[in-house]
Amino acid sequence: MKKNKQVKADEYYQVGPLKMARFGDKTIYQSNFYENQFVDLQKKLASDFDDIVIQIDKLVDKISLMVSELPAEPILQRAWTEMAMLHIGVKSEIETNSENVLSVRMLDYLQSIIVSVLPNSTLKPEVSESDWIELNNAVKELFNLINCKYHICHTAKRKLLNPDIDMDEEEFYFKTQMYWCNVRGERYHQFQEAHLSDLLLTHSGVIEEHFGISTKQLISELMKIQDSLMYGMGNAMKDMQLFQKEVMACAEDRIMQGEKFDEGEDVGEFLRLVIDENNWGSRNEEICGRLLGLDLFDVAKVTNIPEKLLSSLSFGRGEDTEFFAEGEYRGWPLRIWPVFKRPFVKLNSKYYCFDLNSLFDNFYRVMQRVIFSHAPLYKADWNEKQKNISEELPFKYLNKLIPGSQEYRSVYYRSGVGKKGRMEWCEADGLVSYDDHLFVIEVKAGAFTYTSPANDLPAYVKSIKGLVLNPSMQAQRFVDYLLSESSVSIFDENHREIGVLSHSDYRKITILPVTLDSFTEIAAQIQHLKSIGIEMGKTPTWSISVDDLRVYSDVFTNPLIFIHFLEQRMNSFLSEVIQSDDELDHLGMYLKHNNYVSYANSIKDTPETRVNFHGYRLDIDNYFADKLNNPELASPLIQKMPVRLMEIIKVLSTNQQKGRTRISSYLLDCAEECRKTIIDNIDLVLVKQKETQRPFPLSLYGDVKLTVFCWQESCFPRNETFVLEHSRSAMLAVNDATRLVIELFYSNESILEKVEWSDISIDEIPSLELDRLNELANNLKKSRNQKAGKLGRNDPCSCGSGKKYKKCCIDLNLS
């Protein structure tokens, strides 16, 4: 027996009983604790918990004390500068390391400290290098403690106090706190303007009334902040280089014209004289203000946002009283950060913005609270407009993804939801029908919880249930109604019939709960949250935010490829293996592995093995980073596939014939080798048919039961009898019960013009035809075996049956 080849790990790391090995893009973790060893470790961790809490409290106090003694502007300016330097060339979060992440925390966490702690009456004149290093080390130690030791010891302590603790729920509790502390950036910056326009334009009246600026202008001003923080430093450097070049050119001209310049004279004074004589003083000041000063962050200088609104969006030093209020987690990152509530900071009568994620991640909800504080009576109008726009947006982006689909909005139907099963009117937010796919849409415009999971996990879970589980159950109710009869009626809000649906028309039904707020890390694994009471039901459910739907509408340019991705995505819903913390990792896995659930199953070697898929969004991140600089950039995010296959999919997408998605998905389901076998031979067949003036069908066997005919009018007309006889013979040759037949119609220039298809079944073959067709099938098998050459008895039979040669066609060849 051949031994398995030992593969050496690319990297290997071991600490005691814990091992880690990396093989390419896969990482395997293994623990080899003895039972008593693990129990003893858990006891030690539990006993360490109280000390860890004390250490964290001391670090928070140390950080807040240091911040209270230092000028805030230099802290934030240096934090931003170091963060920007560390992220030069970084397009994807996959490329970041712990140093990158810490640099972001030095910005948003320290701003939260600055606005929560009153400054000393006397501040140090500057932030010295030693001050900065000490502050940086303290923040680093704080987040390292919380992200690692605190959670491990906390779980050990909770388990010691309650041995029956649900570890799945405990894992969820841990993850939510990690997301809360560390995950920022709800959407690609490419979509910030579209996001704000989608949600805020409808409220322009009240914003203009109270703040003197239209929503359109406000969004434009916010884009100036984005431009300043992303490109301002680079532009300032270019402007300075140009300015220096012009100043030096003028200085050289003066010297060339005879002005004497002694070696001992002050060069700087001479250049200042040149600047003054050319009235370039203000230009010099403006460039230096951006390059060396705080002008890039000064919101009043960068934008024309009215001060009244700036004030409402800002905290001054020590103004926030909640972050450091007495109680559990005082000043910890596990509380609600002040930057979540107000993104700007007011320092010495100026308003600054240092962090784009703090600005954009929560801006819609921040504006909601700001408007309510100035116009409390507008709350009902806000909720109504928010409901209307939230119900509009899924259709807007689905329309882009699957143009030509049929949609129904605010669908009413009768269901037994009343007391004792009494029939009552129920509503579904919408239905979208595309070929044999039906989307049942439920939209939730409510805000995701404003409560930290560390403070109130039940409230956090309740929020998830409200935004995902409840709408999913509402959609499931409609699915049950659809399946209750062979056909059912749907109605409008006035209970007038607007259509009749038959579940037999739909090969796939997908429940689509859509949320305004993004909580991608949770939504991407929603099917795995049974332990906290989130049971999604039997119908595949795609919980998605408007943000992610907007991304998909930009990525996919062919509706049939999107539908195929969705089918694979819904396969992952039913999988216990696929675990990902990001919706877009699913897209990345699809682009790389196609049927990625099968791929995941293939690398899961034991039932206990846990596989977490991470890092697949690299190409997606890179595309949107590039698109920010080049808005016209076309999406390169598509699976590698033969040109002829893409041609078939494109022609099918323009065809309105029922069942086209089934055919495209059947072809796209094929593995790479299978795709190449059939598709790469099309060009050969087209050439051979022209030479011989007769058709050459292509067939696949095994899991893919497919026969393809290529018709060329200039060679010969389509022969329906030949299609049926050859396809039936191919089916009988390997004892298949069914077979898909695809016919491709090409122009004289070998350009695909039309695709047709049919399904054949062995049950449909007339009994009088069986003997003749079986003879044709045997001839077909003989022909294939002859082409294959000499086969060994144990070789796979070349007829395609999947059997060994000795148990299949050996007798045919002997005869």
Confidence of residue 14 (pLDDT cuts 50, 70, 90): confident
How far apart, in Å, are the Cα atoms of 546 and each of 14, 283, 514, 517, 526?
43, 44, 6, 8, 16
User: Residue 718 pLDDT more than 70?
Assistant: yes
Q: Among 2.60.40, 3.30.160, 3.30.70, 2.40.50, what is the CATH number of 643-765?
A: 3.30.70
For the residues 427-455, what does the mean pLDDT come to? 89
Question: What is d(CA 478, CA 484) in angstroms, rounded to the nearest whole number?
Answer: 10
User: 745 forms bridges with which residues in the sheet?
Assistant: 711, 754
pLDDT at 610: 65
Between 366 and 810, the higher pLDDT residue: 366
User: 437 forms bridges with which residues in the sheet?
Assistant: 434, 508
In the chain, % helix, strand, coil (3-state, to 5) comes to: 55, 15, 30
DSSP state of 565: H
Amino acid of residue 439: F
Confidence of residue 535 (pLDDT cuts 50, 70, 90): low
pLDDT at 534: 66
Question: What is d(CA 598, CA 427) in angstroms, rounded to the nearest whole number?
Answer: 37
Confidence of residue 804 (pLDDT cuts 50, 70, 90): low
User: Residue 808 pLDDT more than 60?
Assistant: no
pLDDT at 436: 97
Confidence of residue 3 (pLDDT cuts 50, 70, 90): very low
pLDDT-wise least confident of 28-37, 52-61, 536-545, 712-721: 28-37
pLDDT tens, position by position, 651-707:
999 988 999 999 999 999 998 888 888 888 899 999 999 999 999 999 988 889 999
Q: Positive or negative, the Cα torsion across 352, 147, 575, 430? A: negative
What whole-number percentage of the chain has pLDDT above 70? 90
Closest by CA position to 445, among listed 215, 172, 185, 198: 198
Confidence of residue 16 (pLDDT cuts 50, 70, 90): confident
Q: Note whether 358 and 343 are within 8 A (CB).
A: yes
> Whole-number mean pLDDT of the chain?
89
Instruction: Copy the structure tokens of residue 196.
Output: 């704000």
Q: Note whether 198 and 183 are within 8 A (CB).
A: no
**Helix 583-593 / helix 559-573 crossing angle, nearest 10 deg:** 110
Confidence of residue 421 (pLDDT cuts 50, 70, 90): confident
pLDDT at 609: 63
pLDDT-wise least confident of 219-228, 514-523, 747-756: 514-523
For the residues 268-284, what does the mean pLDDT come to? 90
pLDDT tens, position by position, 104-118:
999 999 999 999 999
Closest by CA position to 364, among listed 388, 340, 345: 340
Q: Which helix (H) or strand (E) element contains residue 409?
A: strand 406-415
pLDDT at 414: 93
pLDDT at 796: 60
